[in-house]
Chains A and B, each alone.
Chain A
Amino acid sequence: DTEVTQTPKHLVMGMTNKKSLKCEQHMGHRAMYWYKQKAKKPPELMFVYSYEKLSINESVPSRFSPECPNSSLLNLHLHALQPEDSALYLCASSQAPVGTDTQYFGPGTRLTVL
């Protein structure tokens, strides 16, 4: 099984809201990733967790706050977002160490910020 699940599938939020995106995998992977993808563009890396510790933060604004509660779960907490943050947010996982194996992607959460 190479499934990564993400909830919700769609999310609409105002600029003052607080919401969270969730990602789950049961492949025993110890590296998990958040990407942001705008239309007609490749995914852009936001964060990487390796063994539940944040290992890469690509200078993402603090209104995005990642969390890795355990080896199977990855959250992305959202607060005070801007309309330009509207995008498809993709979660992925792989064997650790980072960059040594295939990344498997979830279906994404389509976020719209009003």
Chain B
Amino acid sequence: AQSVTQLGSHVSVSEGALVLLRCNYSSSVPPYLFWYVQYPNQGLQLLLKYTSAATLVKGINGFEAEFKKSETSFHLTKPSAHMSDAAEYFCAVNQAGTALIFGKGTTLSVSS
């Protein structure tokens, strides 16, 4: 069965600092991997997705993620945090025939 583990339920950074949100997946076949962001009282917005075309995936708002099969990881990074990046971030995985399986989420706080 597929699963996703997000390490760290809460990450705090200063404005301008590197953002690193960790995600590890468990899958017996190459998965589709996603990062979604959720701002307070809103739905989920797609940040980026991995579908095996390239291991380094660039998304919106300056975020990117690197797929590492050997480490079964898909960590999300952004070189310089902005106050507007404060939100809940979800890593998710799916395969044909199944709906999304989400990690527990990571709350990103950004301080000035």
- Interface residue tally on B, bucketed by range: 20 to 34
SS class, residues of chain A in contact with chain B: loop
- In contact, B96 and A106 (Cβ under 8 angstroms): no
Tell me which residues across on chain B come within 8 A of A6, comparing CB atoms: 43
Tell me which residues across on chain B come within 8 A of A92, comparing CB atoms: 44
The verdict on A107 contacting B42 (CB below 8 Å), with A99-B32, A102-B49 known, is yes
A100, CB-defined interface residue at 8 Å? yes
- In contact, A98 and B46 (Cβ under 8 angstroms): no
B74, CB-defined interface residue at 8 Å? no
- In contact, B43 and A90 (Cβ under 8 angstroms): yes
B34 touches which of A56, A90, A100, A102 (Cβ 8 Å): A102
Most B CB contacts (10 A, CB to CB) among A33, A56, A92, A105 go to: A105
The verdict on A99 contacting B96 (CB below 8 Å), with A107-B42, A110-B41 known, is yes
- In contact, A48 and B99 (Cβ under 8 angstroms): yes
Which B residues between 77 and 103 are near A, CB-CB below 8 angstroms? 88, 90, 94-100, 102-103
Tell me which residues across on chain A come within 8 A of B75, comparing CB atoms: none
Q: How far is the CA of A105 from the CA of B39 in the complex (A)?
A: 13
Give the nearest-CB partner of B36 in chain A.
Answer: A105
B111, CB-defined interface residue at 8 Å? no
Give the nearest-CB partner of A4 in chain B.
Answer: B43
B45, CB-defined interface residue at 8 Å? yes
Q: Other CB < 8 Å A-B pairs besides A40-B107, A42-B102, A102-B46, 12 of them?
A: A4-B43, A6-B43, A40-B105, A41-B104, A42-B90, A43-B100, A45-B99, A92-B44, A99-B96, A99-B98, A100-B96, A103-B100
Give chain A's interface residues, CB within 8 Å of chain B: 4, 6, 33, 40-43, 45, 48, 56, 90, 92, 97-108, 110
